[in-house]
Structure 1
Amino acid sequence: MRSPLAESLDVLLPDLVPELVAPHMAARLKGLANGLPIILRGGFECRLGADAHRVDLQQCVYPGEGDLLRERTSTSMPRGFLAEWPSRLASIPEIWLEFDLDRPTDLPLSPVVFLGLPQGVSPAMETHGVAEKGVDLLLGREWRRDRLRRYFSACPHGVFVSHIGAMSSRRGMSNPGASSESDTGPNGYLRVNVKRLRADSLPGYLRRIGWREDTEGPEASMRRLHSFVERITVCLDMGLDAAPDHAPEIHPRIGLECISGGQPPGDPHWAALLDDLVKWGLCEPKKRDLLLRWPGRVTPGNARAPWPRYLRAISHLHPRKPLSTFDRQLSHIKVIRQSTGRLEAKAYLWFEHQWS
């Protein structure tokens, strides 16, 4: 029997196929979903270039849902972290599991795990302690804690670290010029997301954390993107180990996540940003059009596939007969800049099941 998440993807994916999600990728996503917990909240990570077809799946997990992760033995999730989350790590409001579809299908499901830290905290060092504890439990081994501290202590007033991703499940990052964001080193790295930086404060922040690459290119890219959106999250990759030949302190790649306050079509900033990415050669026009149509609500009445049996059964058995819906939003657009200056764009599409 197919899982509720797989049947939910039957409902969600038709509006993305074939431009954003190729048919063979849709089949792989549904196969992956069959082994995942019944958490109907997450997103799709879609590449926007002309020949970029890979799509990854994300699940957003709240503190009370740890048991759902423990029940799915096919999902490799650190048990120590799940045991400590409700107590020592109670200030972490959510975690994100990201499943990369470039992995061989015969390997265990080993997600990249992102810790969502308390938001808007300044000075940023106030959340450093819980971040370090969380990473300790996720990795289960020694790592360069002193490096992570820099990312927090270097934050100017009002700037904070929002998420930390333990990217140790990814491989191949020993090549700093690797073209794919999923290329990682033998011992992994941490993805550190920093919110509220502005273009004029970016070079100083990068120097304080030990960045040795050019800062003019990232600053110029950030200024261009800031002309379309107010908020940009800066994503940096921190090497976990001491040996520079295998894990540089900071990988020479930077991600810029662009966020606007509303949703299309009411918020015109998304369309303006995507139009510019099309001109920049980073986004296919057909992909732009599908992204702008993604926000909205899917119901049993407008769905393009049969509604998940699990949700129909719950609605039928409930005395109030609540309406089962999926809310869809455009979360953010990410532009990744390699040390060579090469750029890549991705879109992150949010979905969440709701009862009304």
Structure 2
Amino acid sequence: MIVPIDELMSRLKPFLSKELVGEEELGHVNAVARLLPEVSGGFCFECRMEAGAPRVDYMVCCMRTDGGPQALADALEKTREQLTGPLWDGVRAFSRQWVDPASPLARVPVLWLEYDVEGPTANPKPFAFACVQPEFGQKPPGSRRETGATVDESLQLTWRALEAFQGAPVRPAIARTVSRCFEQLPDFAEVEHVASLACRGSDAVRMIIGMPREEVGGYLERIGWPGSRAQVEELTKTWLNYLHFAEVNLDVGETVGPTIGLALPFPEKPHEPWAKEFLQRMVDLGLCTPEKREAILQWPGRERVPLTGHRWPSNLCRTIGAKLVVRPDAPVSVKVYPYFECRFSLWSDV
């Protein structure tokens, strides 16, 4: 469902602690969010958790369902003179194919646009992620490879999306490394999202890969990650032992980059013991302030409200996720992602 961003921002503000998103940072995010004034999925903030790290980045979700591709294409056309440069040209090229039912990219279910919000800007650099699993969100992770969403289809969607974003095919040396990441997938694993790292000044590719937690160390070793398998296996055992399925963020160029991210979705009720233990470990290790921990615990929830232009009330859902950032020979750092999503519902308990 298409919802004005201003209305969603006004709805979330009473629940958003200044410990997570300060007034100045929220103002910067608001200005960026209004550049594409409607969303078809939801949006989230990227918050640093350590003391003295106020910067907040912004991510918006565009979904294939409920007219998301057309809404994005219309917004990009209206802002053609404002949002300029090769990165926006790439998002527009992707969008043109996304709305075309004859294009393979019409199979992409979700597009994320992330912005690094370091201060006021009228022309932010988009970091565009395409989901290359056509049935993403419809079936449990790991089961989609058995129901038609094959590795080959995901790889072909990867090439098409990256070519649209970059305006050119992926360089052969990088394509070989990306292909290896697909070839070495363990059972029940899948490449979920891909993005060009051009917005960070690199021709490498960001890949988000879901797999059974116990497979992470072996997989990273097989694809040539330069870090320590023992280190990452200890981290997954310590931090992710409550999960069966883990998401790994990789930067893939001619070789696999040294920095990885390990994603952790929180339950909708984060006072569950394992989530509280995770947050307390962050505080104990100095990765998070006690005030930010409490803000995280207070964020999740939902309200059933009427929205402008919609006949039936909607559920506004507040969820949260975290990501461990792992760098060889460096301390782990943590980011959290307060997510705000609008879900259609006729009933209050849906």
Shorter-chain-normalised TM-score: which range? Answer: 0.7 to 0.9
Structure 1, unpaired ranges of 5+: 171-185, 243-248, 301-306
Give the aligned partner of residue 35 of structure 2: 35
Match of 2:226 among 201, 212, 231: 212
Residue among 60, 71, 78 paired with 2:91? 78
**Aligned residue number for residue 136 of structure 1:** 163
Taking a change above 3 Å as real, the CA distance of residues 259 and 324 of structure 1, as seen in their structure-2 partners, is closer
1:1-356 paired onto structure 2 within 5 Å: 4-39=4-39, 41-63=42-64, 64-72=67-75, 73=79, 74-75=82-83, 76=88, 78-85=91-98, 86=101, 87-102=103-118, 105-106=121-122, 108-118=123-133, 119=136, 120=142, 121-122=144-145, 124-142=151-169, 143=171, 144-170=174-200, 186-199=201-214, 201-239=215-253, 249-260=255-266, 262-265=267-270, 267-298=272-303, 311-312=307-308, 314-315=309-310, 318=311, 322-330=312-320, 332-356=321-345
Contact 1:124 1:159 in 2 (8 A): no
Residue 169 of structure 1 aligns to a residue in which SS?
A: helix
Q: Deviations over 1:191-222 (max 9, x none)?
A: 111112434x3333223222233322222211
| 1:236 match: secondary structure | strand
User: How many residues of Structure 1 are paired with residues of Structure 2 in the alignment?
Assistant: 312
Structure 1 or 2: more helix by fraction: 2
CA shift digits 1:105-157 (9 cap, x unpaired): 15x23311111122434364452122222111111124222121111111111
Q: Deviations over 1:25-46 (max 9, x none)?
A: 0111111122113116121111
Any idea what SS the aligned residue of 2:106 has? coil
Shift of 1:68: 2.0
Amino acid at match of 2:18: P
Q: Which amino acid aligns with 2:216?
A: L
Structure 2: gaps spanning 5 or more residues: 137-141, 346-350
| 1:266 Cα offset (Å) | 6.6
Cα pair 1:15 1:290 within 8 Å, conserved: no
- Taking a change above 3 Å as real, the CA distance of residues 103 and 191 of structure 1, as seen in their structure-2 partners, is farther
What CA deviation, in whole Å up to 9, does each residue of 1:151-196 have, x standing for no partner? 11111111111111222112xxxxxxxxxxxxxxx33421111112
Give the distance between the partners of 1:207 and 1:62, measured in 2 at CA: 34
Question: Residue 81 and residue 190 in structure 1: after superposition, are their counterparts in 2 closer, same or farther (change >3 A)?
Answer: same
Cα shift at 1:52 = 1.5
Tell me the SS of whatever aligns to 1:341: coil
Deviations 1:268-323 (A, max 9, x none): 432221122222221211111111221112456xxxxxx9xxx44x25xx4xxx33
Q: Structure 1-normalised TM-score?
A: 0.80
Contact 2:304–2:315, Cα closer than 8 Å, also in 1: yes
Distance 2:297 2:165 in 1: 36
Aligned to 2:139: none
Cα drift, residue 104 of structure 1 = 6.0
Using a 3 Å threshold, how does the CA distance of structure 1 residues 48 and 290 change in structure 2: closer, same or farther?
same
Secondary structure at the aligned position of 1:257 is classed as: strand
